[in-house]
Structures are given as structure tokens and as C-alpha cells.
Structure 1
Amino acid sequence: MAALTQDRNTPRAEGELRQGGVAAATLIYAGALVMRNAAGFLTKGQTATGLVGVGRAEERVDNSAGSAGDEVLTYRPGIYRFANSGGADEITVAEIGDVVFAVDDQTVAKTDGSASRSPAGHVDAVDAQGVWVRLDEALTKAS
């Protein structure tokens, strides 16, 4: 496409809600940590490689009997509190700003579990109830 030679009404995305096709054989619960797989489909947070955190599920979507993309999930990027791992993987205030890794659809850890976990997002804060994680796909991929 050639460069502009006149004004253009360039479309923009409104609001914070995003949507995407759900991976095959996947059930995602409302409130779950949502990740994108290497094929571009959404899945729940889990211990696996090749994923990246994108947001929190705004609804429950059941694609457990479907093919990839048969169901669409609405999710929202942002900062959300998830459960903290324990032991050597427990996240502390010293990790604020660091990348954290998905353990499951509600738990994050300090390490990649010997290269078995994918990045979920960045630590925004830590409190007695868990870890506040900034879920921003572009930021996490760039880290």
C-alpha cells in the first residue's frame, strides 16, 4: 500500500476488553489467568512452555469438545491478584518489576521451574493475599 496523499479515518480499538479464539479441548473459568499459545489461541494459565500471559478471563468459556477457535473468550489485560507459589518460588517485594511465571490458572511463581513454565506478566505488588501481576502481552514478550 502506498503512503497517504490525503486525510485518513484510521480505526482504533475502544475499551479494555479483548477477544480471541480459545485453544482446542480447553475450558477457561471466569477470573482465570489467560495465556496465548504459539498458534495464537487462548488457553488457561498452566505449567507449559510456549505461552505468554495476556489477561484475566471475563467469562467462563468451554471449548473442551471443540477445535481451536470454535469458541471466543473475552479477556481483559490489567493488574490482577493471583496466588503466590511457596518455598523457593515464593514471590516477595524484592521481585517487584520482575517477570513471573504461570503455575496454573490462578498461581504464579518466581522462576520458570527449570524451563518448564511460561511468562505470565510482571510483579506490580505483593501482599498477604497474593501477587498483583501486570498482564500485558506486549510488555511480557519484550522482557
Structure 2
Amino acid sequence: MAKTETAIVTEARCGTLMAVPLAALALVLQGTFAVVNANGYAVASEDVGGANQNCLGVWDNSAENKGANGDAVACVRRKQQFLVRNSAVDPVDQADLGSPVYIEDNQTIAKTDGAGSRSLAGRFMGFDAQYSDCVWVEIE
């Protein structure tokens, strides 16, 4: 396509809520990390936490795909800070503020990538005053 010589209208969306197609037979749970596999389909919440997954945000609703890849979708909240569990075995501390954190399971982050076995969740943005076992994580 050639460059334009006239003004155009370019559509836009805010990107904080987006629909994502689910992998075949996947069940995703509201409030857990929303991750996609190498093929771009959301994996089941019970399978979250492995390497080679891309975290998009947190599920805004629960959904189940009883068919083939992409037969169902669910909505993901993103571009925000989310309150999630801090790992009991590989926790972040204050010195890690602003650092990348990794998915330990569908609701928990860890300080390290577990020798390459964990995918990136986002950035550690602080502790919560009310819930001592939780941290704020920013997910783009």
C-alpha cells in the first residue's frame, strides 16, 4: 500500500479490555492471569505458569471453550496494576520495586524466572497495606 496524500481516519481502542480467543477445551477463571500460548490462544487457568506463555492481563470473566481453538472468547483486563499473591518460596521484596516478576501459578508471582521455567507477568509496583501476602503488579 502506498503512503497517503490526504487526511485519513484511523480507528482506535483503549486496550484496557480486550477479547481473547480460548484454546480448545480451555476453562479460564475470573481474576487469574490471562496468558496465551505460542499459537495466540488463551490457555486454561490450571495450565498457567509455564515457560513460553505471554501474559496479557487478568481475566475479567470466567469462560469455557467446549470446542476447537477460538470457538469461545473471554475478556482480559490489561494496562493496569493488579493485586496478586507474592510467592512464598521466591518472593519479591522492597528492593525489587519496578523489576520484572514472573508467573508462578495462575494467581501468584515470583521474583525470578525459575531458571527459564516461568513466563513474565509484569513489573512489581509495591506491597499492599491490607493484604501482606499480596503485591501490586503492572501488566502492560
Q: CA deviation at 1:2?
A: 0.6
Partner deviation per Cα, 1:68-89 (whole Å, 9 max, x = no partner): 21110111111101111113x1
Q: CA deviation at 1:15?
A: 5.8
Partner of 2:62: 60
Normalising by structure 2, report the TM-score: 0.88
Structure 2: which 5+ runs fail to align? none
Q: Please, which of 71, 81, 84 is the counterpart of residue 83 of structure 2?
A: 81
Alignment of 1:10-29 (within 5 A): 10-14=10-14, 16-29=16-29
Does the aligned pair in 2 maintain the 1:97–1:122 contact within 8 Å? Answer: yes
How many matched pairs? Answer: 134
Alignment of 1:42-61 (within 5 A): 42-43=42-43, 44=45, 46-61=48-63
Partner of 1:140: none
Aligned-partner SS, 2:105: coil
Partner of 1:71: 72
Aligned-partner SS, 1:121: strand
Structure 1: which 5+ runs fail to align? 137-143
Partner of 1:134: 138
Does the aligned pair in 2 maintain the 1:124–1:132 contact within 8 Å? Answer: yes
Q: CA deviation at 1:24?
A: 2.0
Partner deviation per Cα, 1:90-137 (whole Å, 9 max, x = no partner): 11111111111111111111111121111111111123141111111x
Considering only aligned residues, what root-mean-square deviation do their CA atoms show, in Å?
1.5
Q: CA deviation at 1:53?
A: 1.3
Write the distance in 1 (CA, Å) between the matches of 2:53 and 2:75: 18
Partner of 1:139: none
Does the aligned pair in 1 maintain the 2:49–2:106 contact within 8 Å? Answer: no
10-19 or 70-79: bigger deviation = 10-19
Does the aligned pair in 2 maintain the 1:91–1:126 contact within 8 Å? Answer: no
Normalising by structure 1, report the TM-score: 0.86
Write the distance in 2 (CA, Å) between the matches of 1:100 and 1:112: 8
Partner deviation per Cα, 1:13-33 (whole Å, 9 max, x = no partner): 146211110122321111111
Write the distance in 2 (CA, Å) between the matches of 1:15 and 1:50: 23
